[in-house]
Amino acid sequence: HADIAMYRGKQTGRNNFQFYTPAMNEQALERLRIEGDLRSALDNNEFLLHYQPKVDLASGRIVGSEALIRWQHPQLGMVSPARFIGLAEETGLILPIGAWVLRTACVQCRRWQLDGHDDISVSVNLSVGQFLQKDLVISIADVLEDTGLPPASLELELTESLMMTDVEHAIGILTGLKELGVRLSIDDFGTGYSSLAYLKRFPIDVLKIDRSFVRDITIDADDAAITASIISLARHLKLRVIAEGVETDEQLDYLRHYGCDEIQGYLFSPPVPAEKFEQLLRQERAVV
């Protein structure tokens, strides 16, 4: 049947020769199905948030949490964000989904604070579509007011590419967000295409070293050099710096040695449901 599909491909393709295989058909079907189901997922309460601890290396304590979306699909089971965030962006569904994430994360963080964990903060990932939304600053101000979460307890994680789509516009939005008092972080730092010149123009607070550099710091001299340089850059610019994807004690030792402020990764904990996160918070001892 692959031959017939290929033949059809030749007939429909003009100069470019395309191969259609049953596997590609399945992929396209899966995509269509996920897209259809994504539309009703919010109404059906199929989304949930997991939280991953951010650990401060000076105190050894949990100081923050990153909210990461999960989709409990009725047939497919747990669907990872890698499989649906892009699609949500393309379809515009990211706006209601992102608004749900923001509100849910703020409510949760405020609850932890009222439970006695006063200093805990929460980070939320923002997508391009959300970032370019006209009333972003106002809608975030509303969520903070409704939930009672102090603005300084909310951190927004933005990628370089998101800020680089329209630099002047981005600086305007970032400035508005800073005026609200929320913290801003550059996620996956070092993998995007921003230039260092913009680092001093963007009013950001935190650099988050991408997992792809952290992974091999103990075996690859280039990754080690890049990571040490990002830490040093952050310190000189008076920004905080956090490493993501920390899985081993050797990576932790390296990061500590070079003066990284915080770590996040499986070494301490994967993203976990809110109840599990509370248990981690209740363990009063230092964790690393």
Chain positions contacting ligand C2E, by CB under 6 A = 52, 68-69, 80-82, 85, 98, 101, 125, 127, 157, 187-188, 211, 244-247, 264-266, 271
Binding mask 211-230 for Mg ion (x = CB under 5 A): x-------------------
CB nearer to Mg ion: give 37 or 264.
264
| Tokens representing residue 151 in the block | 């603005």
User: How near is the Cβ of 79 to ligand C2E at its closest, in Å?
Assistant: 10
Q: Give CA–CA dist 69/283, Å, rounded.
A: 25
Question: Shortest distance, CB of residue 101 to ligand C2E, whole angstroms?
Answer: 4
The binder of 265, among Mg ion, ligand C2E, none, by C-beta within 5 to 8 A per type, is ligand C2E
Stretch binding Mg ion (CB under 5 A), from 89-97, 181-189, 197-205, 260-268: 181-189
Chain-centroid distance, C-alpha 216: 21
The entry of Mg ion, ligand C2E, none that residue 113 binds, CB within 5 to 8 Å by partner kind: none
Shortest Å, Cβ 152 to ligand C2E: 21
- Considering only the stretches 157-165, 233-241, 257-265, 273-281, report the one whose residues sit in contact with Mg ion under the rule CB under 5 A: 157-165
Cβ atoms of 120 and 65 within 8 Å: the answer is yes
| Residue 187 interacting with Mg ion (CB under 5 A) | yes
**Distance from C-alpha of 107 to C-alpha of 116, rounded to nearest angstrom:** 15
Q: What is the DSSP letter of 213?
A: H
CA distances (Å), 223 to each of 77, 160, 214, 239, 251, in order? 36, 19, 7, 21, 11
Collect all residues with Cβ–Cβ distance below 8 Å to 110 and sequence separation of at least 6: 147, 148, 149, 153
Helices and strands (DSSP H and E) totals, the chain:
13, 9
How far apart CA 124 and CA 130 sit, in angstroms, is 12
Residue 68 touches which member of Mg ion, ligand C2E, none, C-beta under 5-8 Å by kind: ligand C2E
Within 10 A of 77 (CB to CB), how many other CB atoms are there?
A: 8
Strand 62-73 to 77-79 pairing: antiparallel
Binding residue (CB under 5 A) for Mg ion from 65, 108, 121, 125: 125
Interface contacts to Mg ion, rule CB under 5 A: 125, 157, 187-188, 210-211, 244
